Amino acid sequence: MASDIKAEEDTNLTTFNERTLELEEIGPDTFLSVDLWQPRGNRGVFGGQVVGQALSAAGKTVDSPFRCNSLHCYFLAAGKNSDQIAYEVRRIRQGKSYCTRLVVAKQNGRVIFIATVSFQRCEASALRHQYVMPKVPEPETLISREEYLRRQGQRINNAEIDEAKIAEYGALPVETRIVPQKDEDGLPVNAIWMRAKGDMSGLGHMHHQSMLAYASDFALIGTSTRPYQKKAGYDMEMLVSLDHTIWFHEPFRADEWLLYVMESPRAAGGRALATGRIYNRDGVMVASTAQEGVLRGKGLTAQTLQFASSVSHTSAKL
């Protein structure tokens, strides 16, 4: 009986997972969103969902030997969940090893998002290197984002907890675990474990890539705010994504735990840059990300905070 209930739950979660990225074909290489999520308090729909749906749309115009190796996106205007988004795919190039698609997303005839998507025919190579995955606690030992928000509410608001916000995160198709960070220096670094809910074993690689594209927008540009969160008098006015880039390096399953390591190397001119590395549990870096966003705040004296990088010099002659 318990196994039957668990199987039914997995089926429901998988259906919800698919609906998040579901598209309706309405014409040649043109697709319409079915579901859109606009987080409470946000100016528009969740950018990660637009990225995931755009990748899914592009993938529907590519033959199976090709897999997405990268996508470069620009958020041009906020989308609303009151109207569907139309994704128009243009076949820019079809080569033997690579092909390229341009995706233009429109809402009520207005262009709100564009993406260039590159696909590669799988290729073996002896030239391989990567950064080692950081040593962090296993996801099973860490608290969920929902529990983190609940504890944060108790700590900051004297037990005044935003249950609606917690329920909203709990209803998402991706679950996350917060990796604790040392906050005393305000380092612009962050890490989370994440995985899609439900069983995706019956879905193709394109759905796994699209779901990771969706999840990769969680917490990335927010990493840029960490140096200022505990500064007295700081008041954040705006944090909005301008663009989003993903490079896929290796096959993976989006419904298995993936470690998302993020850092923000620079903020200036009202903009912030954040980069990310995504690893599977075997320590293989399966994807990389980068994002720039609008970062505006008040209450602080203008200064450039300095953080050490991991690169060191040598006295040896070159």
The set of catalytic residues is: 217, 241, 291
For 12: left if phi > 0, alpha if psi spans -120 to 50, otherwise beta; the answer is: alpha
Residue 267 token pair: 């903020």
Distance (Å, whole) CA 267 – CA 245: 18
Distance (Å, whole) CA 153 – CA 161: 5
Report, in angstroms and rounded to the nearest whole number, the Rg of the chain calculated over CA atoms.
20
Distance (Å, whole) CA 39 – CA 27: 30
**Beta-strand runs (E) in the chain:** 23-27, 30-33, 66-75, 86-94, 98-107, 110-121, 174-178, 189-196, 235-241, 243-248, 258-268, 271-280, 285-298
